[in-house]
Homo-oligomer: A and B are copies of this chain.
Amino acid sequence: IPLSRTVRCSCIKFDDRPVKPRALEKLEIIPASQSCPRVEIIVTMKKTEEKRCLNPESKAIKNLLKAVSQKRAKRAS
């Protein structure tokens, strides 16, 4: 689906490389809105501060979300 020029999505294309939960500095979810008709998932990598757009529809993302949001440091329990 080509996007019109007036649409302001942050992601142009998705990065399909697998992402390890531990390598993540931050994961941002930007819900669909009037400025962009699809949800966007942007991760920031720890070491490089590189940002990557992930495909919200991929199964890998669902697992990543689960892993990231549930993970706690072992020593904190």
Contacts and interface: CB of A to CB of B under 8 A. Distances in A.
Interface of A: 1, 21-22, 24-33, 37-39, 41, 46, 56, 61-62, 65, 68-73, 75-76
Integer count of this chain's copies in the complex: 2
A32 B71 contact: yes
28 contacts: A21-B31, A22-B31, A25-B33, A26-B30, A26-B31, A27-B28, A27-B29, A27-B30, A28-B28, A28-B29, A29-B29, A29-B65, A29-B68, A29-B69, A31-B68, A33-B46, A37-B72, A37-B76, A38-B76, A39-B68, A39-B70, A39-B71, A39-B72, A56-B69, A61-B69, A62-B69, A65-B65, A65-B69
